[in-house]
Structure 1
């Protein structure tokens, strides 16, 4: 029995244990996650989405093999064996090509899945729920057939199919985040959950994927959690109780919860207790990263470094010059937009950290503060909550420690506490 299967069995038997899934392509954030993995030895899931990493490069410019090589290099530097990491592909399906005719989009989705499994990703979320090429929204049955099609591709091209674990189900916010503020959320009904299971079971049987069906470990459903640009929907266990009880009638399965960012640690713990075994987090990680960068900017300003304000100006200019990552998401006056662009929960600023000009300005700031270290009193003002005598002065370590506030609480909620 694999580690994941063992943990799932414990969760189903009532042990409040789960696995956080860290979904980001931000180098500083990934280094913080890997440093935490090296320190604690906790099993760590790192995921890439279909929009971040694909055969066309995604918005990171990386193919699955490139991403795997990049991550492997960072893991080696952090002292983490790749055997200790679980690499996942999220929303693998036709979403990046949904404007194209369905046959063409699905052909590209097959290539996407092929490249992910060949590169060594083993946790595969199959998501073929989106309408393609202007077609009507596909039925549950059609979604399941397309997912089975993609599963057959994974089985055919994985170096060792027995190492794959599959996630099915699609009742989640769209990849990349909500385009508008959600007003209400409906918890997935037990009937819709059963329909998801039955249609997928039938589709897998039709394709002769009986062995692969045994590798399905989790189903994506909506437990009633999400976040918009300025609001967060907290988890309410009572509303999800029928759903949490229904999973125990399906052998070996748990749920995967998406968009759990910004839930309280208590709410995340309740999700795990209700068999939402996988907790997906992404924007909260880069939100913490942005907080740390802004804190470094403040330190630089206190030390008289002109390069500090330069970073803020450059990222503001780049967001205005290339607004495609936020303009379809945010609405309001100029003052409201200026706040949303930097501080919204949806964290659309995360798409700009890899911009060449922004990355260069950040590197300059980090280098400057590495040479001209700040007094502990100045660091404490910008990074409040750190203990005196234990306060790092390195800007990279300050970023790492701040991002790990998110990492740490997710592991705590998942029953793996680094500070008992």
Structure 2
């Protein structure tokens, strides 16, 4: 069964009350991708990998990758883990005018149409149409009709450039802040009446653009079920019974829940049971990777190599030298900011992991531990990985230890 067929089958089973959800991994880090493929292979399931519009775009995004480059990276990591490419579903997350919203709606939407074209022609087949971003000169707040009209414009581009397999779409207007909220943001659980209004506006917009066939492939609606995370907080899922049942009035559709990072296994299972079938996760994965890297650096310190990696020092120096990606998230006294640079749930450190100086420190760390790590140090600093190696399930190389630490999080989602 192909990835798209398996994906749709899981969605239909969820709607029928038979359980099952889909984990959407939003990360471009190679080790995070390998963790997904390792865990998905063990469960013989689909691997949904998504890149965001500011992460990967036609100009390179903050990762320096265009959609075709990201696809190449994903395939290489899948091959490294022996995961079949036909089980990979590539998704474009938050495709919309976010990156260019300061240029005004007309200019931003022109670049957005090119963005969608680049994603679809590269092979992405799950497309999140997110026109909820307010552009310079827009009325605020944006109406459902404006958001739906811009989304339909994007869908029209996508429909014009797919070849053998048409894409599936995810829509919505109540889209949580990408990457986590600022602490001051107020929680607002989507009302069933808002679901009805949103879907009516989108359906009308698609119809006006002659996209009735594409509308039949709208499979997900992004809503706010009452989950969020920020710098030092996690808003736990408390149930949304009225919202949960509302989606069943729309054949073929499920909810897509964003910002589910750091939820408990029990909460993730409840979300899936309540038809929030597609669970997005991103920062928690690189947060776990950072935990693994710092654990390995503590092990490195015990072994006293001649040239230590100084990973944490290099990472925090890079962040302080270029505060662009964290300045609006981390405030307070300098000691508080220093703590947040490493330990904040917002995990703004993930933006700095690809930097050459940081990757050089990671490479040095890997080399310094390549001769082998005493089991006692693994037990001290990575106890879950110690259990796996003692059971013969993990070869404790530095890379495998990092991947396994990320798998700890991936597994919680795949088992929800």
Shared fold (TM-score, shorter chain, > 0.5): yes
Cα shift at 1:5: 2.1
User: How many residues align structurally?
Assistant: 408
Match of 1:417 in 2: none
Gaps of 5+ in 1: 414-420
Partners of 1:199 and 1:35 in 2: CA distance: 41
Where does 1:10-21 land on structure 2 (aligned, <5 Å)?
10-21=13-24
Cα deviation, residue 38, structure 1: 3.0
Could you give the per-residue CA deviations for residues 22-56 of structure 1, whole angstroms, max 9, x where no partner exists?
00011111122122233332111000000100011
RMSD: 1.4
2:234 corresponds to which residue?
232
Of 141, 163, 166 in structure 1, the residue corresponding to residue 166 of structure 2 is: 163
Q: SS of the residue aligned with 2:48?
A: strand
Aligned 8 A contact 1:53 1:63 in 2:
yes
What are the superposed Cα offsets for residues 73-132 of structure 1, whole Å, 9 maximum, x if unpaired?
A: 222222122110110000001111010121110000000000000000000000011111
Q: 1:202 aligns with which of 201, 204, 207?
A: 204
- In structure 1, the residue matched to 2:343 is 343
Alpha-carbon separation, structure 2, partners of 1:397 and 1:59: 27
Aligned to 2:85: 82
Correspondence for 2:397? 394
What are the within-5 Å matches in structure 2 for residues 17-96 of structure 1? 17-96=20-99
Distance 2:327 2:16 in 1: 46
Q: Which runs of no fewer than 5 residues in structure 2 stay unpaired?
A: none
Q: Could you state the TM-score of these two structures normalised by the residue count of structure 2? A: 0.95
Cα displacement (A) at 1:314: 1.1
Tell me how far apart the structure 2 counterparts of residues 285 and 31 of structure 1 sit (CA, whole Å).
12
TM-score norm. by structure 1 comes to: 0.94
Q: Within the alignment, does 1:275 sit opposite 2:275 as a pair?
A: yes
Q: Aligned pair in 2 of structure 1 residues 288, 374: CA closer, same or farther (>3 Å)?
A: same
Q: Work out the CA distance in 2 between the residues paired with 1:252 and 1:135.
A: 33
Could you say which residue in structure 2 is the equivalent of 1:318?
A: 318
Alpha-carbon distance in structure 1 between the residues aligned to 2:77 and 2:34: 7
Q: Is the 8 A contact 1:307 1:361 kept in 2?
A: no
Partners of 2:275 and 2:6 in 1: CA distance: 17
* 1:58 match: secondary structure: coil
Q: Name the SS of the counterpart of 1:263 in structure 2.
A: coil
Give the secondary structure class of the aligned counterpart of 1:290: helix
* Counterpart Cα distance in 1 of 2:305 and 2:22: 41
Match of 2:381 in 1: 382
Counterpart residue number, 1:125:
128
